[in-house]
Amino acid sequence: MDLDTIIKRLPYQDPFLFVDELMDISETGAQGTFQFKSDSAFYRGHFKEYPITPGVILTECCAQIGLVCLGIHLMDKLDVEQNKGQHQIAMSSTQMEFLKAVFPNETVRVVSEKEYFRFNKLKCRVKMYNAKDELVCRGVLSGMIILKSDGK
């Protein structure tokens, strides 16, 4: 599947889409980038006069690139034709460690490595790097993949 097609199938839109480019995807992982724009609403209150990207937003970026994009790819590889594109992925657990701040207008790269994919559960190790290739955060994310019912 085309990498841009996977991004278009994500169940998010601006202002909650945290994937600009999907660089690589395979059976074992995914890699993509996102730039945190300075006009994003969350910067107005986190923190006053010294904005940094909230950890929950960094986690969401890692999940969208490293878990959801990968899940879409893996399900399409396994699924029968009539169910293609009919899946949703919901994060079920997170464990993240934050090492560096991400500031407005920074571009980050997320690298995901699949730990396992079975019984409709996907578990990945994720790492986020800044433009200097410094490790920003890392962790383990899990999600459940469900079939949309009645086209909803």
Where would I find the beta strands (DSSP E) of 6-134?
21-25, 29-35, 87-98, 107-118, 121-129
Half-sphere exposure of 110 (CA within 13 A, CB side): 34
State the residue for tokens 């960094």.
58
Distances (CA, A) of 92 to 105, 130, 144: 29, 26, 6
Average pLDDT on 130-143 reads 98
Q: Report the pLDDT value the prediction gives residue 88, as an integer from 0 to 100.
A: 78
Residue 150 has pLDDT above 50, yes or no: no
As given in the structure block, the two tokens for residue 107 are 């571009």
Alpha-carbon span 101 to 44, nearest angstrom = 16
Task: Report helix, strand or coil for 128.
Answer: strand
**Structural domains of the chain, ranges and CATH numbers in brackets:** 3-147 (3.10.129.10)
Report pTM: 0.92
Where would I find the beta strands (DSSP E) of 1-67?
21-25, 29-35
Alpha-carbon span 150 to 107, nearest angstrom = 38
- Name the residues annotated as catalytic: 46
Tens digit of each residue's pLDDT (9 = 90 or more) over 53-98: 999 999 999 999 999 999 999 988 776 454 566 677 888 999 999 9
